[in-house]
Structure formats: C-alpha cells, structure tokens
C-alpha cells in the first residue's frame, strides 16, 4: 500500500489541506509527514499560503515542482487571516470527497492515519468526522503529552440538539483540527449558508463553527491511535502571553458561542446557560474588581449589533462592575443555583 498519485483532472478521494503563514521552519516536516501516508485511494495536498513573508514560498514551490500531480501550492495575493484563508481553500481548492486538515507547524506520525480514518467514513454514513489521538508537543520545554482517550455525547448522537454539547465543550479534551478527517460536501454546503458566523475581523477561530456543523451532520468517531503532533509554540496566536490578548480572545470566543446558538436557534435554556457561564467566569476571575483592560475590551463590543444573548451578558457584567456588593450577591445566587 502506497499513496496514489492523483491525476490533475481527476477527483481525489481526499484533500489534505495545509493552512500556513510564515511557518517556513516547520513546513518541510509537515509536508514530508503527509507524503509518507500509505493509502489505497488517491489524495491531493493543498498548501494554502496566506501571503507569507519568510521562506515558506520557496520551500513550497520546490515541493510542488517535485510533486506536480500531488501538491497544489496556492499563495494568496494578500493576507486574508486564518479564517479567510481556511474557508477560501475549503470553497475553492479542496476537491476531495473528504478533507483532512493540518496546521503548517503540526505534523503526522502515523503513516496509516488517512487510511484508518477513510475506512471509517467510507463505511459509516452516520459519521461526519473522525478524530484521533495526538501528542501535544511543548516546544519551549521539548516535552510531550499523549492524549489518546476521548469521551463525549457527540460519539453517540447527532443533530441540532447536539450542538449544545459543542458549545458547552462536553468532551474530555478539545479536538485538534490537525487530526480530523471529515466529509467535504455536507460540511461546505452548511458553511456557505452560515457566512454570518465567520464574517468580520473578530472571529476567534474556526473550531466552534466546524465542530457544530459536524454535530449537526452526523456522529463523531474517535481513533485512539496517536497520529498527530500538535505543537504548542510560545507566542503563537492561540498561546500568547499577552494578558490583553488573552482577555480579548476569551471574550470573542464566548461571543462566538452565543452567535452559534443564535444562528441555529437553539433552545432558550441553552442560550441562557451560555450567558450565565460568560458572566460567571469573569465574575469569578475579577471578584475584587474588574481590570481596566477587561472593561476597555468589553466596552468595545457593547455597541455592536450582536445577539440578544451577548447584549444581556455584557449589560449584566458592566452593571456588576460598578459594585462589589452586587458582584458578591450575584456569585452567591449563581453558586446556589448550580448546586
């Protein structure tokens, strides 16, 4: 069994999509790990470069010249940002029946990763996505943490009601995008319908949107095999040390969950729980008073035309920020309700 060459005019079974920006020091390892895949089906590799300014372009063009029928290197004319680059690739460049994604600084360590996931998706029409175990690599310390168990209601049920399990993060660890294989047509069709969820510059990431669509379309499947190395880099977008950036990301992340709940018209109880969780987490962190950075960032979002959920949450927090007595009373009430 070896990887099959996909003729430029034929439709591959799988598209492996690498999203990259200024990751020239890692991209060789990423591409080589995908080239090592052994399959009995054809696949293509799409490298979507978000207008990198380092050596990424030269490296990727060399690989494309060496593997012209396997690698499609696409360079954006201008920087689109993570979401813009990813979804542009989904809509325009991914031709396969199934799509696997890999970040430009992650890599695969199981040469049968795609084959194992493909067999499941191809034989189980009720499954929308296959996750795998992975190794979390902490680059600064050079240490690994293996994660090969995953428990979630998403493994057993599908449909609109299961989106709440995504929004509540009812799983034993957060799925790693570099480990997944999912159905192209069903996912992309839904993505095109919910453009409002990823429009604008303040979308924190793709995970909540994709995971919700997967839950809507089918059940999740999980392979315990360690197939992927997920690199934790100091100072990366999702692991910054900046307090202000962390606060801003956390708020945008909570906002995105509320937007998803609104878009899919989830039950009022789900929306209420998201609002309460949003308020509670910041009251707990700032019991003795809200930081100026937090209030500044929160005010930035308070006048936006957003969901009713968000307006209620922000209004509540801004009101409570003015009085420690009110904050303490609110925490007592929430703790009592959550018993």
Residue 237 has pLDDT above 60, yes or no: no
Note whether 110 and 194 are same-domain residues: yes
Note whether 158 and 92 are same-domain residues: yes
Which token pair is 124?
């189980």
| pLDDT the model gives residue 202 | 76
Note whether 99 and 131 are same-domain residues: yes
For residues 47 and 72, the answer to whether their CB atoms sit within 8 Å is: yes
Note whether 180 and 34 are same-domain residues: yes
Note whether 123 and 154 are same-domain residues: yes
| pLDDT the model gives residue 336 | 60
Note whether 25 and 103 are same-domain residues: yes
Helices within the chain (DSSP H only): 27-35, 56-66, 81-92, 113-123, 163-167, 184-193, 207-217, 243-263, 268-285, 292-302, 308-320, 324-337
| pLDDT the model gives residue 274 | 87
In a domain, 7, yes or no: no
Lowest mean pLDDT among 54-58, 222-226, 231-235: 231-235
Lowest mean pLDDT among 73-87, 163-177, 253-267: 253-267
Residues of the domain holding 203: 14-232
**How many domains does the chain divide into?**
2
Q: Phi and psi at residue 312, in whole multiples of 5°? A: -65, -45
In a domain, 213, yes or no: yes
Note whether 96 and 27 are same-domain residues: yes
Residue 334 has pLDDT above 70, yes or no: no
| pLDDT the model gives residue 234 | 74
Lowest mean pLDDT among 9-18, 219-228, 311-320: 311-320
Note whether 224 and 259 are same-domain residues: no
In a domain, 270, yes or no: yes
| pLDDT the model gives residue 307 | 63
In a domain, 202, yes or no: yes
| pLDDT the model gives residue 283 | 65
Note whether 247 and 209 are same-domain residues: no
Note whether 306 and 215 are same-domain residues: no
| pLDDT the model gives residue 199 | 86
Which of residues 232, 264, 291 is at a domain's end?
232
In a domain, 4, yes or no: no
Query: Considering the chain, what is the average pLDDT of its residues?
Result: 88
Note whether 192 and 108 are same-domain residues: yes
In a domain, 292, yes or no: yes
> In whole angstroms, what is the distance from residue 134 CA to residue 99 CA?
18
Which of residues 165, 199, 232 is at a domain's end?
232
Q: Say which DSSP state 161 is in.
A: G
Note whether 161 and 252 are same-domain residues: no
Nearest alpha-carbon partner for 274 in 197, 164, 170, 171 = 164
Q: What is this structure's pTM?
A: 0.88
pLDDT confidence bin for 337, thresholds 50/70/90: low
């Amino acid at each position: 069994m070896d990887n099959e060459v996909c003729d430029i005019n034929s439709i591959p079974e799988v598209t492996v999509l690498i999203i990259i920006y200024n990751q020239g020091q890692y991209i060789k390892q990423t591409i080589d790990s995908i080239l090592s895949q052994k399959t009995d089906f054809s696949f293509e590799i799409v490298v979507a470069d978000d207008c990198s300014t380092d050596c990424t372009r030269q490296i990727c063009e060399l690989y494309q010249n060496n593997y012209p029928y396997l690698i499609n290197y696409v360079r954006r004319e201008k920087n689109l940002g993570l979401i813009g680059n990813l979804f542009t690739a989904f809509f325009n460049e991914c031709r396969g029946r199934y799509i696997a994604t890999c970040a430009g600084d992650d890599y695969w360590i199981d040469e049968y990763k795609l084959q194992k996931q493909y067999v499941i998706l191809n034989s189980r029409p009720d499954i929308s996505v296959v996750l795998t175990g992975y190794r979390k690599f902490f680059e600064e310390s050079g240490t690994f943490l293996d994660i090969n168990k995953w428990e979630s209601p998403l493994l057993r049920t599908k449909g609109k009601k299961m989106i709440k399990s995504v929004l509540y993060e009812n799983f034993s660890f957060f799925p790693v995008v570099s480990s997944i294989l999912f159905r192209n047509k069903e996912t992309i069709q839904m993505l095109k319908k919910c453009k409002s969820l990823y429009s604008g510059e303040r979308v924190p990431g793709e995970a909540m949107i994709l995971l919700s669509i997967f839950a809507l379309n089918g059940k999740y499947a999980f392979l315990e095999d360690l197939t992927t190395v997920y690199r934790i880099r100091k100072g990366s977008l999702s692991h910054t040390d900046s307090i202000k950036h962390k606060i801003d990301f956390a708020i945008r992340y909570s906002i995105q969950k509320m937007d998803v709940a609104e878009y899919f018209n989830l039950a009022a109880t789900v929306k209420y729980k998201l609002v309460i969780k949003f308020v509670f987490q910041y009251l707990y962190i700032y019991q003795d008073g809200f930081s100026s950075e937090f209030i500044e960032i929160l005010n930035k979002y308070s006048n936006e035309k957003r969901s009713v959920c968000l307006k209620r949450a922000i209004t509540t927090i801004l009101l409570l920020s003015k009085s420690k007595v009110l904050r303490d009373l609110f925490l007592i009430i929430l703790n009592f309700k959550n018993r």
